[in-house]
Structure 1
Amino acid sequence: MRRVEPVPSSAPASRGPAGSRRVRPAAVGAAVLLVLTAAPADALASESGIRGHCARVDRLRVPGAERQQVDCLDELTTAGTVASGHTDPADWAGLTPKDLATPRGVPGIQLDGYFPDTSTTDTNHGWNHDAQFVIRLPDHWNGGLVIAGAPGTREQYANDRAISDWVLARGYAFAATDKGNTGAAFYRDGARPGGAVVEWNERVTQLTRAARTVVTRRYLRPPTRTLATGMSNGGYLVRWQLENHPELYDGGVDWEGTLWREDGPNLFTYLPAALRSYPVYAAGGDGAESARQDLLDAGFPAGSEFLWPYHHHYYWDLTQRIYREEFDPAFDGATEAGTPYCSPGTPACDADYDYASRPGSVHDAVRRVSLTGRIGKPLITLQGTLDVLLPISKDSDVYAGMVRDAGRGDLFRYYRIEGGTHVDSLFDGFPDKLRPMVPCHRAAFTALEDWIGRGHRPPPPSRTVPRPDGAEPHTLLTDCRLAG
């Protein structure tokens, strides 16, 4: 008899800065230690050996990983991993509507670990080590693998509710990474400006190669299709991977990916306008209408005004300061990430930031992570028309033009989702004005499946998908029709 155990970890559970529960070591709680009888190679290659619960768990090694732990779980979706400690609810908080259904009934193997790295901002499992990953291998596999990078500055579990649960229930293996640095001080990583974001792309490439090998070892054949998907910064990673490493993927779904372009538009060409003009607009009075027009001119969509207070409070200021620090740390001298909520005229205030006038070294740093539109595999992009963090006219509308200009339009579809915004949790507060993006992402994902397989049916033509008149919230949460 041979006992198969995870790589041991003596680290206790840890808590995040706000007291949120961090993932416990995966050997704790519901993690199951398997007792297997050693079997000949031909038996392991048999149908039962491949398809049995957590079969071949003792053969799994993540290439290049410095540390890994492997657990056999009765449930790989958040219906089970929340209780067992194999996800971190704080990592995906605020990304999905509260009433999003949670699938269940997906037993299989979860691998957690990290690749060699020098930064320590990811505290999951008590490891205090970046370049962490999660790989999930369902017992009942459909032959596919889905790769995702984290949105924002979140960690490897950020996609668990929005993406992992659903693709696992469809039979896909799933892998995600923390991108190599996490949290609001991610800019401290990297040897020179832009280096932290450069690492994001490298870590997704690294994980994709490793996950494909793990899948092959588990199921004794390589994945028939490898699909990249993600939201926000995760969507940017999809774009970059299909431009730079199309050989690793069969296609991708980009959910409101961040647009980086050396000459703009980018975050720095519109967020400072929001920081300057929103306080004047919110104060009312004679200057309010002019300030509102400044926001519209910067790209923020008309009709999104009801979302501006939330984004002013939570997103615009912090996003501008920490990303500006990543690409242009000299702007505020020795100060890290500027002065929060400063008024124009304050020394080194991000409300006065003028990207066009900054030194060439800043533009060079942005160029290192810029996109080109030269995708090499089928890509579906979707973004909400009421996105108030990444305005659609300055983001996906532009990227769609870049793809066409690069001569890759035959590999591309673009759906503008009327009433969609950047984070789906806002749908809970404004169900009469918004629509959740998650069902539209799922519709795009199934359209990609049809495009690259199952008869190779092309997706519906690119278009603006209207918000159905009079639609009930429960209908919007489960239905999104991309075709006209």
Structure 2
Amino acid sequence: MRRPTPDSPSRSRRRGIPTVLALAALVLSPVPAAAAPGSTAEATGAAPHCASRTQPRVPGAERQQASCLDELTTAGTVASGHTDPADWAGLTPKDLAVPSGVPGVQIDGYFPDTSTTNTNHGWQHDAQFVIRLPDRWNGGLVVAGTPGNREQYANDRAIADWVLARGYAYAATDKGNTGLAFHRDGEAPGDAIAEWNDRLTQLTRAARATVARHYHRPPARTLVTGMSNGGYLVRWQLENHPELYDGGVDWEGTLWRADGPTLLDFLPPALRAYPAYAAGGEDAGPARDALHTAGYPAGSEFLWPYHHKVYWDLTQRIYREELDPGFDGATEAGTPYCTSGTPACDADYDYASRPAEVRQAVRKIALTGRIARPLITIHGTLDVLLPITRDSDVYARMVRDAGRAPLHRYYRVEGGTHADALTDMFPDRLRPLVPCHRTAFTALEDWLRKGHRPPASGTIALPAGADATTLLNNCALGGRGNVRTHSGS
């Protein structure tokens, strides 16, 4: 269940936690970490580079433990037990390089919460976080929420390793509830997802204060990034708490809006049509057309069997349970893989016909497009979990319609899909998005530091004849590889 978090325009009843005063703009430059006198944090695994230091308290944390590590990236944290590979399994290509040589301090802990889905460290406590403070700091802070319903280490390979190697401090949250039964958290429909937004806001404020205490100066720049549900958090934060951030990179963020489209609109048609498509015969053609109409692009058919088996059914049921638990009565999260016509079957779910309170639940978490800080969005054209025409294409229009297009760049990545690990299964058909995220991140840095606006929004073409190694290490946003296809952002 949620605990109150700092005041925001939409929820005045919340209590505040310590915040950092307005930050002066500073140049991002590497500086060595300094001691933080007077801290009472527990230090473990002391190493020579910071053995004499005590560590700062994380404001608002109910529990924390700090460790001085010779390696903050997964090149060392897997062996030292300061990450959990299960958190990031399936999110990155197997050959993604892991940087090393980043000593510093890692703080693990949790904020007050009453739910207990996160079992990391044996704590049985949600609202867990990790903060990493590299010895050689570039002056910046990157904060992230996790994709799916994963725990706080989920971004370690895809995002944390790379930004830590560039000198950023890094912080991530489990979003306040985890796992396939996340929908049990909260008192009303929509509460569990709404908590994700609160928890990232809470962590950002606490991490900024922790960074300031550790390095004896506030972060010069705070950037927010994440994939899938983490990308949704980026959008929401830049719409609702722009005062905390300088900008963000949204990697295929989930779209929530009361009038749709949302995954509750396009997943049920896939669940209805796919069995007939897979069975072949005279019904296969119309079923394929129904999937295309629902948003699953032509040319993505080779991905449908995997997504039907792994993603579509489960995703529909658990998010529908969170937002519309009354649809299936007392049954929790529906009936797995039910056929159309089965009573209360999610394959027949029709969001448009559901009661008004369902839209009210979605309205709690809805996006508006009214970003107030620079945002770069990337999304793969072969995403068949969150089809691009039903998600980021729509969000780009929302940003434009809100009059915020100058703050947005949107890149449709040809051949990209939702989970980068699938590129290992289909190296001749897919490209990973992780290098595109990194290119977008550096473009955001240049936008903020130097005023160099990124290339115009458009489609990043899949280079003809490029091999898997080239695609894993390169993704140009501009030039001949970028064809402008979307106006207004």
Kindly state the Cα deviation for residue 6 of structure 1 after the two structures are TM-superposed: 5.6
Equivalent positions of 1:376-391 (< 5 A) are 376-391=372-387
Tell whether 2:179 aligns with 1:166: no
Q: Deviations over 1:185-223 (max 9, x none)?
A: 000001100000000000000000000000000110000
Which one-letter code corresponds to 2:429 in the other structure?
Answer: K
> Which 5+ residue runs of structure 1 have no aligned equivalent?
8-26, 36-52
CA contact (8 A) 1:3 1:33 kept: no
CA separation of 1:339 and 1:254: change in aligned 2, threshold 3 A: same
User: Which residue, 467, 470, 475 being the options, matches 2:462?
Assistant: 467
CA contact (8 A) 1:384 1:420 kept: yes
TM-score, structure 2 length as denominator?
Answer: 0.89
- The aligned residue for residue 22 of structure 2 is none
Equivalent positions of 1:32-111 (< 5 A) are 32-33=45-46, 53-54=49-50, 57-111=53-107
Kindly state the Cα deviation for residue 33 of structure 1 after the two structures are TM-superposed: 3.1
User: Which residue, 123, 147, 154 being the options, matches 1:151?
Assistant: 147
Is the partner of 2:411 in helix, strand or coil?
strand
Tell whether 2:446 aligns with 1:433: no
- The aligned residue for residue 481 of structure 1 is 476
Q: Deviations over 1:136-164 (max 9, x none)?
A: 00000000000000000000000000000
CA contact (8 A) 1:5 1:70 kept: no
CA contact (8 A) 2:65 2:108 kept: yes
Rounded to whole Å, the distance in 1 between the matches of 2:166 and 2:127 is 27
Kindly state the Cα deviation for residue 32 of structure 1 after the two structures are TM-superposed: 1.3
Equivalent positions of 1:137-286 (< 5 A) are 137-286=133-282
Rounded to whole Å, the distance in 2 between the matches of 1:449 and 1:74 is 27
Kindly state the Cα deviation for residue 54 of structure 1 after the two structures are TM-superposed: 3.2
Provide the alpha-carbon RMSD of the alignment: 1.4
Rounded to whole Å, the distance in 1 between the matches of 2:395 and 2:52 is 43
Q: Deviations over 1:21-63 (max 9, x none)?
A: xxxxxx8xxx51369xxxxxxxxxxxxxxxxx33884141000
- The aligned residue for residue 5 of structure 2 is none
Rounded to whole Å, the distance in 1 between the matches of 2:431 and 2:51 is 41
Which one-letter code corresponds to 1:479 in the other structure?
Answer: N
- Identity in percent: 74
User: Which residue, 445, 448, 463 being the options, matches 2:444?
Assistant: 448
Is the partner of 2:316 in helix, strand or coil?
helix
- The aligned residue for residue 47 of structure 1 is none
Tell whether 2:119 aligns with 1:123: yes
- The aligned residue for residue 323 of structure 1 is 319
Is the partner of 2:133 in helix, strand or coil?
strand
CA separation of 1:122 and 1:463: change in aligned 2, threshold 3 A: same
TM-score, structure 1 length as denominator?
Answer: 0.90
Rounded to whole Å, the distance in 1 between the matches of 2:73 and 2:366 is 34
CA contact (8 A) 1:132 1:156 kept: yes
Rounded to whole Å, the distance in 2 between the matches of 1:302 and 1:205 is 39
Kindly state the Cα deviation for residue 316 of structure 1 after the two structures are TM-superposed: 0.2
Is the partner of 1:137 in helix, strand or coil?
strand
CA contact (8 A) 2:70 2:76 kept: yes
CA contact (8 A) 1:4 1:34 kept: no
Is the partner of 1:72 in helix, strand or coil?
strand
Kindly state the Cα deviation for residue 301 of structure 1 after the two structures are TM-superposed: 0.8
- The aligned residue for residue 411 of structure 2 is 415
Rounded to whole Å, the distance in 2 between the matches of 1:302 and 1:360 is 34
